[in-house]
Amino acid sequence: MKKLNVFLTRPIPDEGIKMLKRERDIRLEIKKDLPMPRKELLKAVKGRDVVWTILTDRVDAEFFDAAGENLKLVVNYAIGFDNIDLEEARKRGLIVANSPAAEIAESVAEHAIAMMFALSRRLVESDAFTRAGKYHGWEPNLLLGTDIIGKTLGIIGAGQIGGMIARRLRDGFGLKILYNDVKRNPKFEREHKAQYRSKLQLLKESDFVTLHVPLLDSTRHLISTKELKAMKKTAFLINTARGPVVDELALTKALEKNEIAGAGLDVFECEPLIDCNPNDTHALRRMKNILLTPHTASASIEARQAMSRESAKNILAFLKGKKIPHRIV
């Protein structure tokens, strides 16, 4: 019997890899070099039965053409799949799967909450101030921040991650929970004592706004000039979803003018660039009222190993002719 030819485009945490290596009917190759240029990727996928991708791999018609007729399955090491042309995959009769896991949602929720605390209590500024030798004793007005307890949290995207954040901050810190989604979610309202608001009304009332929506045509620049102007001057915006959900230029201007108190970004509109401007003026990096992390909201050992396992389950199910657990197409 011919072995299933599986190609992994980047090294990932090893639990899923070990699952595949235990199968004698799978031949797994892992690309070791980082990063992999596009031309090299297209050469590497030729003749593969399965390609195990990561979210920075662009999987489109060119990719499918390069892989050739042997390709049957693409498994994305991510919850999101905006890097994959699903319509093109459908046309070609290909299977696409992702790798969701509860641990990922937990990790992203914790990261978003950590950003809220770091921004409201000015932790990064305080660390830099202290390391720079500027601390000469306690002062009443030194680096004043704001408390989280009792504030209002606005969640845009009432899914699993939004629910985890709502529960932790409502139960632990007494926050009032508002939410917005494409439609009302009675279950979310019951479980989290959350109140539905239109997007603009949520922005007007919230002290913290956290985004948890997929990247779709309808969510691109979901937060732009109009939305930022609706927010309180004392409010913070958190984005751990996808970069283009926020209009980065509009956000930069709002932060420069102190129209909002600050922002926490784990994702960027033109990543890996931090500024979409091709000349990269470093505007965001110079600001003190912004917290930047390098797309690491799910970067816990538990979450990344869970993604590895869930990805591998898709491939093993395909090998054995079973229902693929996380099939998208």
CA angle 89, 92, 93 (to 5 degrees): 85
Which runs of E-coded beta strand occur in the chain?
4-8, 26-30, 50-54, 73-77, 95-97, 152-156, 176-180, 195-196, 208-211, 236-239, 262-265, 290-292
Active site residue: 92, 167, 221, 295, which one? 295
Q: How far apart are the C-alpha atoms of 219 and 157, rounded to whole Å?
A: 10
Q: How far apart are the C-alpha atoms of 66 and 12, rounded to whole Å?
A: 23
295 assigned to active site: yes
191 assigned to active site: no
Which runs of E-coded beta strand occur in 198-300?
208-211, 236-239, 262-265, 290-292
Rounded to 5 degrees, φ, ψ at 182 are: -65, -25
Q: How far apart are the C-alpha atoms of 230 and 224, rounded to whole Å?
A: 10
User: Is residue 13 reached through a cis peptide bond, with omega within 30 degrees of 0 on the bond before it?
Assistant: no
Strand pairing class (152-156; 176-180)? parallel
Active site residue: 23, 125, 271, 302, which one? 271
Active site residue: 48, 111, 242, 304, which one? 242
**Cα dihedral 214, 15, 9, 57 in deg (nearest 10):** 10
**Inter-residue contact 148 to 120 (CB < 8 Å):** yes
271 assigned to active site: yes
**Inter-residue contact 308 to 16 (CB < 8 Å):** yes
CA pseudo-torsion sign 196, 233, 278, 265: negative
Write out the catalytic residue numbers.
Answer: 242, 271, 295
